[in-house]
Structures are given as C-alpha cells and as structure tokens.
Chains A and B, each alone.
Chain A
C-alpha cells in the first residue's frame, strides 16, 4: 500500500472511531472497505486499525475478522469466529465422546449472527465447524471492562455442519496474527495513557512549578515511552519474520509494556487518575483484558523461556 493510501485509511478510521464504537463501528469499517484492506494488505489494515482502536478506547468485531481471514474463511458479515477462552490460545472446540464442546469468547457481533465458525481440535486435526448461534450459550461479559463488548461462548453437544479440515499450521498462524493485532491495540492504549499523563504533568502545578519539571515524574514518563517503542519495534519485526515465535514475543512485549505504562501513568495522574471523572481507568481496565487475550505476557514469556531451555537456540532476527 502506498503511503498516501495508508494515510487515507488512517484518517478515515480515526474519524470513524471518533463517533462510533461497537456495532456502529463494525458498519463503519465495512463501509470504509476495511475488510477488503485486510485481505489485500493485512499489515497495514491490522496495524493501523488496532493501534487506533486501542488509542481511542473503541471496540469492534475486527478481531473476529482477523481470525476469520487468517483461517481463510469467508470474511465479512456472514459468520464470526469463536475466539479461545481468555488467557488461552488453543482451539475453543473439542470433541468429547463424539459431542462438540465449546468454550471460548466472541466479539460484539457474534450475538447478532445466525451462525458462527468454531475451530475444534479433533485428534491431530483442526476442523472448522459451522454452528448455529441459537445452539450456544452466550453470556455478555461485564467483568473489569464492560465496554469491551466481549461475550463468553459455551455449549455441550452443539450440532454442527460438515467439518472442513484446516491445514495443520492454520490455527497457530491465525493466533499469531491475532496476537500481533492485540499487540497493536495494547500499544495504542499505552500511547493514550502516556498522552493523558504527559498532559497532566504539564498542567498540574505543585510547589510553584509544573510537576513535569520533577525528575521523578519525567523518568516515569520516559520509561513509559521506552516501553512503548520497544513493543512497537517487536511488532514491526514480527510482521517481517511472520513466525509464530516472533508474534508471541511481540505480544508479550506489548502486554508488559502496556502494564508498565498503566503503572507509571496512574502514578503520575495520582488522585485524578483514580477517579472515573478521568479517562485513565478505561485504559487500565482494557489493557488487563487485552494482555490476557491469546495468552498473557507472563505465560508467553515463561513458555518462550521453557522452549529456549530445551532447544538451547535463540530466536533469529531478520538479517539486515
């Protein structure tokens, strides 16, 4: 995609998110041609949309579309893909005694669909199965971030259509793409927290000077920027390498960075940042859920370490 096209997409998405969230944003994304951009230019479509979405504290069903597109399923308005349960990355379906058992999450739009796609692990195969949403138990999640619009999806012995066998690498690669998307959303949210804290530091006067002049404050904000840029670099690298390992590292880095940002920015915003009169808490809530989505930083990092201690081989970086 040309720089001009990217800028245009960014501008229109930004405008859409100023006034829309949830189902309205899904419609706006369709109208803007974001689903087409996702299939033609996934890197631009995913990085731009999710970073903006994180920064704007908006929500959409784009994560379902990302999984759907990565799995080579029909993208768009017709069907939604069930996401893994929070903190997990295995396929949300399994066969227990011949019955399809489902435990996972869905984005906002799943509620309005007639059918959904569930990936189920059966033996050594991943199967894509069509199910009727009427056969699922769907619970609207309130939790720590009610505005995120997630639903919990479950069902025992759910009827399904003819199975379509997925290539063995399809699910791990779809999770890798979803992790990168969540990573960009975390970076966007962290950048917004930093901007809120930065502005407060400049405005708030104590001891006769703006608190931005105190080194303790400046260094917290500097560390926040370092953490954000580190995550950004890891995400860029994950796009170039396109390995599941690089995507997991980038997601872990983004989760850790967002939590660092939340800690520092909350401290800089002090009393006002602890109230619901200020927007900070919205981001603090959101990043906790996003960090857990497809595996939290802590879990991914420990897994990577365990793998490295077994293989005794560090992950490669793309050559210069």
Chain B
C-alpha cells in the first residue's frame, strides 16, 4: 500500500464514519472519557485495517511503510478525533516491544495495544530520577526464573488505566549507572502494584505514582538483555520525538487554525501571528523529514532532540498566542470551548518538561551533535 492510496482511502473512510468516530464533547471532557473514546477509535481503525498498516506482519500488522502510521495519527489528530498525547503512546511503546520482546510475546501483545483492547504505560521516571534517568533505583532482584521488583515510579502517564508497563529497573549496583539497568514488561495486575493518580495543573489525573512491593515478574518478560535496559530506553526516546511528534505537530496546526478562526478582529499583532505560523510550519517541515528518514530505515538518534526543541517551542508559542488572542475567554469562560483552550494552554506549559526537558535536549545536542565533550 502506497502512502497516496492509503491517504485517499483513509480520508474517504473517515468521512463516511465521522458520526461514529467523532467524540462526544461531554464525555471527552474527562480523561476517562478520552481514554474510552481512544480505545473505540483504535478498535474501529484496527477492524477496518487502517491501524494495522505500517506494522510488521509478525505482530499482526499488514506491513508497508511507517509513513502509513504517521498519516493515520495525523488524520485522526488533525480531525480532532483523538487526543494526540494518549494516541501517540502506541507509537512509542509498540516499537519497543517489537524490537526487544521475545518474538512470541510481541506477537501476542502488540495486537492488543493496536486494537485498543489494552492500555500500556512507560515506567521510567522516579522521585529521585527525573532528568538524570541513569540514576534510577527501582530494584529488580533475580530469583530463579523470575524478577522481584521493589521501588517507585512517578509521572507515569495513564498508569491507572494500564494493563502493562515497560519498566526500567536497577539490576546492577547503585553505582553501575546506565550499565546496570534492565527493562521489563510488567502486567499491571500483578500483586504488589499500587497506583495513585496525580491531579495536574490542567485538571486531568494524567499521570501517576506507581509503587512496586515485591512484584514478581517472569524472567521471559525481560526486554533485551539483562543490564541493557539503557539501550532499550535510548531507542524508545527517538520514537517519542518522531512519529508521536508528527502527530502532535498536526494537532498544533489544527489548533492554530482554530485560533485564527476564533480570534476577534484586531486582537492579535500580525508579527506575532506570522512568527507562530512559521514556527509550526517549520516544526512540521522538520518532523516530516524525520518521518522519511524513519521510513527509509534510518536509525533515529540524538538529532531528534532538535525536533523536540522545535516542538516544545512551537507548542508554547501557539498557546501564548491563544492567551493573547482569547485572553478574556480563557480567563473567565466556562463554556466548553473556553475550557478546552484553558486546558490546552495549561498543558502546553509541560512541553518543555516531559519527554526530556528543554535543558536535557540541549545537553544532548551539545554533547552528541556538536561534539562539545563532557560538561564537567
């Protein structure tokens, strides 16, 4: 299936099924509603085949270029059919399982994620481990054919809904840093796991604390080799900064377009509008090139930190412009539109924090792309 053909047939299908696919505005005011709706859209897209294109046949996919996946996410987010953040978790977690899980496990699990039957989460950050990921301390102890996990994760998006977790654990000594990390694929209904949601500034319990108390994980749930969890994490992060980001950029384009349609005359400075439009355009141009590199089989690496910096900059610029253009509505409005602008503005403040802070991205660029050596 070629991209053009896929695009044309998908666009037609989305047009035909728009009443079924369109979220109920009332129901999707809450995160529960958004997660439910996402599951429904994924199921429908899977059943119609759209969700299977671009994934390898060994995990239930229909093959074809990764550009097909990129377009599906773009089509869904730019039509406002799904929330981009939670949709794109598939793009981050499925490739990790495909690349690192034992093949039978991947074949069993990935289709569940694709067809919206399951939600997965990503257990990376810890209370003492934000930017300094290699210092993580959630411990996994080997006991015969199992791992026994004890520790705590935080900022774990969607953990309260999740059926599985891609979990980074400490299996070496505390001093082993990135050399002593092992990635595990954990069932979230295992005894000993407690999830506590955290209410965010934008009014959704989007992420969680997750506590592990002597949680038993079978050894065949190891992703990659013991002690090689760091490379699993490093391979996952570029996905967060490629396909997921392409979807986010499509969403930003859509919201900036909505702002242009909604803003009262003479409220916005043309220079500011021009600059934000350029930022979004440039982000999409860069991200589009990254999609082509991914599709050509290139291994994505530190250069995707540039994409992330551009995304965070553009996202905050878009919503700063929203404040400039729709300030009174954003401040006082209690109608659904105002509530949504407000929620998205508040959420945009996190763009320079999640998925590696603005500072961490610049550290990566300095070290890996500019070859500036150590920062000590």
Q: Using a CB–CB distance below 8 Å, which chain A residues touch chain B? A: 198, 201-202, 209-210, 212-215, 218-219, 221-223, 225-226, 229-231, 233-234, 236-237, 249, 252-253, 298, 300-306, 308-309, 312-315, 317-320
Contacts and interface: CB of A to CB of B under 8 A. Distances in A.
B370 A225 contact: yes
Contacts of B370: 198, 218, 221-222, 225
Contacts of A213: 372-376
Interface residues of B, number: 49
Nearest to B279: A230
B274 A210 contact: no
B132 to A, nearest CB: 14
A320 B67 contact: yes
Interface of A is mostly: helix
A236 B277 CA distance: 17
Contacts of A231: 282
B288 A305 contact: no
A226 B376 CA distance: 23
Interface of B is mostly: helix
B117 interface: no
A312 B263 CA distance: 9
Interface string B35-62: 0000000000000000000000000000
6 contacts: A201-B372, A202-B373, A212-B372, A222-B370, A304-B270, A305-B268
B366 A320 contact: no
Interface stretch (B157-165, B170-178, B357-365): B357-365
A313 B260 CA distance: 7
Contact of A215 (B272, B273, B369, B375): B375
B275 A225 contact: no
Given A298-B271, A309-B273, A237 B278 contact: no
B372 A312 contact: no
Nearest to B292: A320
B366 A315 contact: no
Given A218-B366, A320-B70, A320-B288, A252 B278 contact: yes
A253 B278 CA distance: 7
Nearest to B274: A305
Contacts of B366: 218-219, 221-222
B245 interface: no
A9 B373 CA distance: 33
B273 A305 contact: yes
A233 B289 contact: yes
Contacts of B288: 237, 317-318, 320
A308 B372 contact: no
B76 to A, nearest CB: 14
B212 interface: no
B310 interface: yes
B253 interface: yes
B291 interface: yes
Given A249-B282, A303-B274, A313-B257, 20 more contacts: A213-B375, A215-B359, A215-B375, A218-B372, A219-B362, A222-B363, A230-B283, A234-B281, A234-B285, A249-B277, A300-B274, A301-B275, A302-B270, A304-B274, A305-B269, A308-B273, A308-B277, A309-B270, A314-B277, A320-B3
A258 to B, nearest CB: 14
B281 A226 contact: no
A27 to B, nearest CB: 36
Given A233-B286, A314-B253, A305 B373 contact: no
A317 B274 CA distance: 15
A56 to B, nearest CB: 21
B269 to A, nearest CB: 7
Interface in B221-273: 253, 256-257, 260-261, 263, 268-273
